[in-house]
Amino acid sequence: MDSTSGDEVSIDFSPLIKIYKDGRIERLMGCDVVPPSLDPTTNVDSKDIVISKEQDISARIFLPKLTDHDQKLPLLVYFHGGGFVIETPFSPRYHKFLNTVASQANVVAVSVHYRRAPEHPVPIPFEDSWTALKWVASHCTGNGPEEWLNRHADLGRVFFAGDSAGATITHNMGIRVGTGGLPGMKIEGIVLIHAFFWGVQRIGSEAEKPQHAVLVERLWRLASPTTGGLDDPLFNPVMDPNMGRVPCKRVLVCVAENDFLKDRGWYYKESLEKSGWQGSVEVMEAKGEGHVFHLFNPSCENAVSLLNRFVSFINHG
């Protein structure tokens, strides 16, 4: 047997991932991890917990500095991005971002680790995220398995948020709560940052960038080879007859001017407003920025503005 055969690439999706002909998978980004810790800058403490050992679902929980030992804070459930194929809550970028959000918004945050494609194709990341939400909801009586949530999380003031593929998951988790309920949790708001939405029909400026369309469609097919294509409601929310069942009254959609997914964010806003939903949806557009710029350059002016808007949205009212 040729000793080099294991190095032959079957699918090259650089700079995210490579799949070799022998089945080996090489992730090219989002592989670094940092341990949970008490952050000296924000005074936010964090720890990792197992939600399902059998399914390899876990989370990193962030707890800001408390004014008293029994203080109850709003709860943020966060779903990371990465095209369903890379990244974790334990990467330096997500650890830093959630540390900062937890500190500035004064919330308990649960950053969900779901299984990733292609080993675990869509809809598995969605099902894992739902399992995580049910685990979170098990703390509503104060008798759940995690003491930080029992003591400090107010499940009557819950926010969902995510970026990129995580924003796709976030929307769909909201619809699942809105259609089926999740006893013990009241969702106050949802934040979608640069959501990974698409569809068969080109909208806005998408037809002017066919190379970007090809990349989006290839990535979705890689992550979800057995689902309903580009108009699957998991990927194209406007195709979902339950779109108007979002379980809260406020939604914040963040888009970036130079992101090839920008028009989908605006289209989501317009479609949600026409769906019969009785809430308020706002869009924040970062001028001159690209996809998830706030994770790669968190100290830039637009990233600080995005963070401030995120925080004020949580603390509204």
Q: What is the DSSP letter of 243?
A: G
Q: What is the DSSP letter of 29?
A: S
Tally the C-alpha atoms within 13 A of residue 51's C-alpha that lie toward its C-beta.
26
CA 257, 261, 267, 268 torsion: positive or negative?
A: negative
Task: Decide if 194 is catalytic.
Answer: no
Instruction: Give the integer Cα–Cα distance in Å for 196 and 177.
Output: 20
Please pick, among 80, 139, 152, 291, the residue that the annotation labels catalytic: 291
Give the angle subtended at the CA of 184 by the CAs of 109 and 193, to the nearest 5°: 40
Please pick, among 138, 259, 271, 294, the residue that the annotation labels catalytic: 259
Please pick, among 103, 111, 164, 224, the residue that the annotation labels catalytic: 164
Of 289, 255, 291, the C-alpha closest to 81 is: 291
Task: Decide if 271 is catalytic.
Answer: no
Task: Decide if 164 is catalytic.
Answer: yes
Instruction: Give the integer Cα–Cα distance in Å for 281 and 26.
Output: 39
Contact 105, 96 (CB under 8 A): no
Bond preceding residue 15 cis, omega within 30 of 0:
yes
The pair phi, psi for residue 278, each rounded to 5°, is: -100, 25
Coil vs helix vs strand at 217: helix
Distances (CA, A) of 31 to 80, 131, 150, 206, 216: 13, 24, 31, 31, 21
Of 1, 22, 3, 25, the C-alpha closest to 12 is: 25
Active site residue ranges: 164, 259, 291
